[in-house]
Amino acid sequence: MISPGGFESNMYLVNRELLIDAGTGLHPKILVRELHELGIFFEDIKRIVLTHAHFDHAGGVHLFKAAKVGIHKDDAEIIEKGDNSGSMANMFSASLKKKPVDFMLDDGDLIKSGDLKLKVIHTPGHTKGSICFYDEKNKILFSGDTVFSEGFGRIDFPGGSSNEMRDSLERLSKLDVNMILPGHGAPVWGSGNETIKRLLM
């Protein structure tokens, strides 16, 4: 887990080659330092998968020149067009650099890295193309901005929907989850199911 703080999203490094989310890209020096502590350089990252197209998660993809980028098809256009309102870059007084998407993700896809398998779960509500990554074997959910340790993601941004969020949380509540690794804030250790079910009350 790389968690530079501020407005940056958490980033998760999997098997030293796959990165889940990429931060804003506004503070490359801090990111270089955090990666170096793990013995990693930008070029070591071969794939980035994005939980959604918001600037605080996707703005940094351009720093990783060797990485192929994947995102759910419903959020892909925001990245490809460098859409500053769809990505909320406007809110950060920043602009999203255009980036071609290398692979489109959809519900049920499997992302493999070493012996780890991450299942893509489409969880609209925060954005149209929000996704979570589920490691069934280890019962870990990378939840992006859909689920946090206390609460769920905002639904009042463009593409947000309270009904879709509810359906998404309903779906996630049926998974067997121990650990939740969210897009912001602290992880949830060992009580993932309870955390998700509490959000549905």
Query: Interface with Zn ion by CB under 5 A: which residues?
Result: 54, 145
Is residue 53 within 8 A of residue 183, CB to CB? The reply is no
CB 139 to Zn ion: min, Å: 24
Q: Which residues does 133 contact at the CB level (< 8 Å), separation at least 6? A: 20, 49, 51, 111, 118, 119, 120, 121, 141, 142
Judging by DSSP bridges, how do beta strands 147-148 and 179-182 pair with one another? unpaired
CB 104 to Zn ion: min, Å: 19
Which is closer to Zn ion, CB of 125 or CB of 192? 125
CB 51 to Zn ion: min, Å: 8
- 141 beta partners: 134, 180
Name the residue with the smallest CB distance to Zn ion.
Answer: 54
CB 126 to Zn ion: min, Å: 6
Which is closer to Zn ion, CB of 83 or CB of 145? 145
What gap in Å lies between CA 73 and CA 92, rounded to an integer? 24
Which is closer to Zn ion, CB of 34 or CB of 145? 145
- In one-letter notation, the amino acid at residue 199 is L
Which is closer to Zn ion, CB of 9 or CB of 193? 9
